[in-house]
Each structure stands twice: as C-alpha cells, then as structure tokens.
C-alpha cells in the first residue's frame, strides 16, 4: 500500500469507533474477495518500456459526465458522517480541489444538493455523480433521479450488484444495524411510499432487472453508468441497454464472497465492450501502481473507496486531499518509470503475471 494511505489508515483506525471502523473495513462472508482485490494486484507486474522520455505527462481523461484531471475518481461509499462531522461536504471539497469526480452515494449523510454545492464552491466546473440503487417502486426511483438532476449531478451510477445486502460478519458481531442519533441517509427523506426499510440495506431490491435500467434511460438524459458488472455478457447487455459506461466492481468485497478479484474480471469485460463505452474498475486500488495496472488492462480510470474514508476519518477534507494527491503523485511516477508519455502508453502487453512470465494476461 502507498505509505501515505497506510499512515492515514492507521490514523483512521485509531480515531474511529471500532464498530464504524469495521463497517468501513469489512467485507462479506469470510472476506475472501476483500483480500483478493488487493492480492490480485500484487500478482501482476508491468514491463517498463525504455528510452521514451517526456518531461511531463498529461494524466487527464474525459468520461461521460465529466473531465478527470487524473484517471481516478471517488467510488460511492455510504455514511461519510460516521467518519467525520463534515461528512460528504469535506469529501466533495477535497475531490473538487483535486480536479476529479465524486460519486456521491444514495446513502449519503448529506443531501445531494448540498454535496454538489460544496464541490462547486471549490470549483464551479466540478462534476459530482449520483449513485442509485434502483427501486422496486418506479415512483421512488423517479424521485431519486429528480433529486440528483435538481442538484446538478452530471451522471447517475446505477449499482447492480446488490439485489440483497451482503452478509457482513463484523457488523453482525457488533450488532451494528443503524446510524447513531443525529445522522440519517439524507437523500432518502420524504420519499413516495414512506421509508425504504433498514438503514444498512436501504432500498435494495431482489426484483431489480434490466427493465429498471430502461426506465432510468427514459427518466433522465444524464449519462448512466452501470456499477457492479463482472460477467462479460452483462457488459454487452449493458451496452445494448445504452449505458454510457461500466464499472467493473465486486463492491469492494462486500457483496458476493464468491466473486473474482475486480482486476481479474476486468480484461474480459474490456474485450466484450470493444471500446463502445469506457470501463472503470474499482476494488483494491491502494497505490499508483495499481492504477497503472488497471489502465494497462483497459480501464479508462479507477475508483477508490476505503482509502478516501480513511483520509476523511483521519483528517477530514485535508485527509481526503492527501489520499488523492498521494495516488496522483505515485501514479505519475510509475507512469514515468514505465516509459509512459501519457495514458495511451499503458497497454496490455506491459502486464505480466508474476511467477509465470506470461504477458498480456491477468490471473
């Protein structure tokens, strides 16, 4: 792990209520996937190219829904006020200052309008995206989309990997089922039909299907990203259903504990979509080298989840800023060491599976 991220993780662990630390840190089942997301990156290496000098490297990338100053965005995570009193406001400010995108969660502890306003106060051109769990009741889905649009969000990220909430042993052992008094999922107030059920599995529905994605396509003209895709056939279906982008993700190991590591699922999804839409990877990214490997395997960008929560818990807005700065700096350094003059130089032929010498493959 990047040393700054490791330092902030340790600081966050010391600062957080252990119950909330475990909610953030934990995974589903036996936490096999949680460990594999990071371990799979350690099994991959990058062959450097030589004598391709460039004084500086352009790290920017344009995606449907915004320009990223580096190929890294902040993945949606719930309940930032468990980490710091400023919650998502602090995260939004730091992410906007870093020139990248925050995907703000439906289960945020600050309403989406305030999150976007905080980002725009730092940078009027900042893009914030809204993460949505599609709802059984179409009126509720429509209401949430309208809130995201009214707030000024630039894209909607539809999470598809949570028909039911993963079973988290750590939360069960602590008896963690609800937010402490004073905190709430602010986007979920006053929805048609009343509250959506338990705080920790807000509105997840086993009935959600491709029909709901088509409905979303009709409800909004914002770019729609589909998050939680691992099977290449689902990636093709997503393109057929007119998504603007795909997030290869196993939800940070918090849903199916039988899923493969996210980076191991990436190449087949990239191949299946054949460049028709960009593919973002999240899960286990803990350093600039991981960003480089994901891009070499065909990701347009990566998402980071827990490291941002550690930065937030350790030092609020400044902590999140340090996480993003450290990842950008390390990625740029790795890119230079690999002979990369820009992102396009990160190609699949550079990727080697450690211990096998096999190039251009993963896992």
Ligand X SMILES: Cc1cc2nc3c(=O)[nH]c(=O)nc-3n(C[C@H](O)[C@H](O)[C@H](O)COP(=O)(O)O)c2cc1C
Ligand Y SMILES: CCCCC(=O)C(=O)O
Provide the annotated binding site for FMN: 76-78, 131, 159, 227, 249, 282-286, 305-306
Our finding on whether 78 is near ligand Y (CB under 6 A) is yes
Our finding on whether 110 is near ligand X (CB under 6 A) is no
From 9, 20, 212, 251, the catalytic residue = 251
Candidate ranges 118-126, 204-212, 215-223, 247-255; the one touching ligand X (CB under 6 A): 247-255
Backbone angles phi, psi at 358, to 5 degrees: -80, 130
Using CB under 6 A, pick the residue from 65, 66, 76, 340 that binds ligand X: 76
Nearest to 189 by CA among 127, 123, 260, 112: 112
Number of residues that bind ligand X (CB under 6 A): 22
Candidate ranges 71-79, 218-226, 273-281, 355-363; the one touching ligand X (CB under 6 A): 71-79
Closer CB to ligand Y, 5 or 78, in the complex: 78
Closer CB to ligand Y, 71 or 253, in the complex: 253
Q: What is the 3-state secondary structure (H, E, C) of 152-191?
A: CCCEEEEECCCCCCCCCHHHHHHCCCCCCCCCCCHHHCCC
The two structure tokens encoding residue 311? 């930065």
Provide, rounded to whole angstroms, the least separation between the CB of residue 59 and ligand Y.
29
Rg of the chain's alpha carbons, rounded to an integer? 19
The two structure tokens encoding residue 60? 């920017």
Contact track, ligand X, 294-313, x by CB under 6 A:
----------xxx-------
Our finding on whether 186 is near ligand X (CB under 6 A) is no
Using CB under 6 A, pick the residue from 24, 130, 176, 331 that binds ligand X: 24
Our finding on whether 107 is near ligand Y (CB under 6 A) is yes
Q: Which does 131 bind (CB under 5 to 8 A by kind): ligand X, ligand Y, none?
A: ligand X
239 within 8 A of 277, measured Cβ to Cβ: yes
Closer CB to ligand X, 51 or 167, in the complex: 167
Nearest to 203 by CA among 135, 130, 108, 131: 135
CA distances for 268 relative to 94, 157, 259, 271, 357, angstroms:
34, 21, 14, 5, 20
Category of 304 on φ-ψ map: left (φ > 0), alpha (ψ -120 to 50) or beta: beta
DSSP secondary structure code for residue 37 in this structure:
H
CA atoms within a 13 Å half-sphere pointing along the CA-CB vector of 187: 32
Please tell me the total number of residues recorded for the chain in this structure: 363
Q: How remote is the C-alpha of 290 from its chain's centroid?
A: 14
Active site residue 333: no
266 within 8 A of 297, measured Cβ to Cβ: yes
299 within 8 A of 270, measured Cβ to Cβ: yes
**Binding-site entries for glyoxylate:** 23, 133, 251, 254
Binders of ligand X among residues 86 to 105 (CB under 6 A) are 105
| CA gap 324, 5 in Å, rounded | 9
Q: Which does 200 bind (CB under 5 to 8 A by kind): ligand Y, ligand X, none?
A: ligand Y
Our finding on whether 200 is near ligand Y (CB under 6 A) is yes
**Binding-site entries:** 23, 76-78, 131, 133, 159, 227, 249, 251, 254, 282-286, 305-306
Q: Which does 109 bind (CB under 5 to 8 A by kind): ligand X, ligand Y, none?
A: none
Closer CB to ligand Y, 76 or 298, in the complex: 76
Our finding on whether 102 is near ligand Y (CB under 6 A) is no
177 within 8 A of 198, measured Cβ to Cβ: yes
Q: Which residue has the tokens 């062959």?
A: 47
Using CB under 6 A, pick the residue from 99, 283, 298, 316 that binds ligand X: 283
Q: Which does 304 bind (CB under 5 to 8 A by kind): ligand Y, ligand X, none?
A: ligand X
134 within 8 A of 145, measured Cβ to Cβ: no
Catalytic residue annotation: 251
Query: Interface with ligand X by CB under 6 A: which residues?
Result: 24, 37, 75-78, 105, 107, 131, 159, 227, 249, 251-252, 254, 282-285, 304-306
- List contacts with ligand Y (CB under 6 A): 78, 107, 200, 202, 251, 254
């Amino acid at each position: 792990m990047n040393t700054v991220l490791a330092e902030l993780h340790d600081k966050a662990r010391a600062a957080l209520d252990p119950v909330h630390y475990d909610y953030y840190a934990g995974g589903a089942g036996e936490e096999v996937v949680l460990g594999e997301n990071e371990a799979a990156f350690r099994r991959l290496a990058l062959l450097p190219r030589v004598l391709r000098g460039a004084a500086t490297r352009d790290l920017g990338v344009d995606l449907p829904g915004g320009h990223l100053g580096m190929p890294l965005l902040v993945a949606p995570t719930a309940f930032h006020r468990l980490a710091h009193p400023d919650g998502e406001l602090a995260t939004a400010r730091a992410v906007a200052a870093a020139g990248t995108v925050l995907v703000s969660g439906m289960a945020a502890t600050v309403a989406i309008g305030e999150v976007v306003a905080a980002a725009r106060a730092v940078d009027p051109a900042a893009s914030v995206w809204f993460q949505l769990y599609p709802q059984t009741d179409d009126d509720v889905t429509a209401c949430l989309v309208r809130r995201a649009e009214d707030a000024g969000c630039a894209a909607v990220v539809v999470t598809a990997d949570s028909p039911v909430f993963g079973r988290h042993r750590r939360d069960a052992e602590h008896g963690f089922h609800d937010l402490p008094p004073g905190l709430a999922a602010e986007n979920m107030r006053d929805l048609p039909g009343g509250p959506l059920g338990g705080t920790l599995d807000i509105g997840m529905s086993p009935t959600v299907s491709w029909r709901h994605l088509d409905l979303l396509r009709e409800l909004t003209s914002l770019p729609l990203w589909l998050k939680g895709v691992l099977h290449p056939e689902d990636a093709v279906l997503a393109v057929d259903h007119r998504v603007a982008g795909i997030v290869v993700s196993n939800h940070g190991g918090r849903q199916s504990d039988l899923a493969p590591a996210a980076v191991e699922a990436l190449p087949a999804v990239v191949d299946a979509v054949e460049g028709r839409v960009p593919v973002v990877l999240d899960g286990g990214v803990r350093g600039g080298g991981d960003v480089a490997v994901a891009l070499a395997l065909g990701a347009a960008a990566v998402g980071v989840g827990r490291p941002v929560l550690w930065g937030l818990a350790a030092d609020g807005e400044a902590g999140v800023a340090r996480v993003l700065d450290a990842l950008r700096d390390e990625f740029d350094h790795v890119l230079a060491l690999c002979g990369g003059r820009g992102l396009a130089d990160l190609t699949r032929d550079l990727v080697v599976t450690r211990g096998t010498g096999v190039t251009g493959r993963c896992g």
